[in-house]
Amino acid sequence: MERLLVLARHGQSEWNLQNLFTGWKDPGLTDLGVEEARAAGRRLKAKGVRFDVAFTSALTRAQRTCALILEELGQSDLPTIADAALNERDYGDLSGLNKDDARAKWGEEQVHVWRRSYDVPPPGGESLKDTVARVLPYTMREILPRVMRGERVLVAAHGNSLRALVMVLDGLTTETIPGLELHTGVPLVYRLKDDTTVATKEILDRD
């Protein structure tokens, strides 16, 4: 039984390019983001990876990334489940602001705390801890049981929602997880043991 779980952060979005806090806002992919998603699909195809089901968020950039990966695999008709539980962290009042402008308004140290601490949310938004509390129950209820039944699962989502999963899979702590950066369009390929721990992990980095 393979117990395959692949995590993929969406390709570059228009707001990534503009250095804006995005969160639950819904910009599309840039041309580079489209190519990053397609390249992710090609790398998975080269590894012989196939999926039985895909999960994504309620946001366009993740959904399109998921669709482009599956298109490259010749699996565009794959059952795909979209749920806001997998959405990016909500940046609240920071959403839509340029990160440099936010630093000018609140100070570099405060913005760094909001971005990189585990449990301090920005005004009106979510901390990484809040995001973990949203993502993990959904994963335990909807995604992990499928993996453990032997289904091959793709999750195309966001930097922070996927960090919540990587934190558990890789056994990271609340001190180390804020420093983890997941690159756009780079699949993480996990194979799990029968006790749900990680048997192997492979990062299909850019060529």
Q: Binding-site residues for substrate, please?
A: 9-16, 22-23, 61, 88-91, 99, 115-116, 159-160
Q: Is 151 a catalytic residue?
A: no
pTM for this one?
A: 0.95
* Position 144 pLDDT exceeds 80: yes
Interval 133-150 mean pLDDT:
98
**Mean of the per-residue pLDDT values of the chain:** 96
Q: Is 183 a catalytic residue?
A: no
The pLDDT assigned to 167 comes to 94
What is the assigned CATH class of domain 4-203? Answer: alpha beta
Interval 176-196 mean pLDDT:
94
Instruction: Name the β-bridge partners of 4.
Output: 191
- Strands 80-82 vs 188-192: parallel, antiparallel or unpaired: unpaired
Q: Tell which residue, 82, 67, 2, 5, has the closest CA to residue 34.
A: 67
The pLDDT assigned to 207 comes to 59
- CA atoms of 164 and 159, how far apart (whole Å): 9
Catalytic residue among 10, 36, 72, 126: 10
pLDDT digit string, tens, across residues 65-114: 999 999 999 999 999 999 999 999 999 999 999 999 999 999 999 999 99
* Position 206 pLDDT exceeds 90: no
- CA atoms of 176 and 17, how far apart (whole Å): 26
Q: Tell which residue, 109, 103, 123, 115, has the closest CA to residue 163.
A: 115
CB 157, CB 9: distance < 8 Å: yes
CB 172, CB 178: distance < 8 Å: no
Catalytic residue among 36, 72, 88, 126: 88
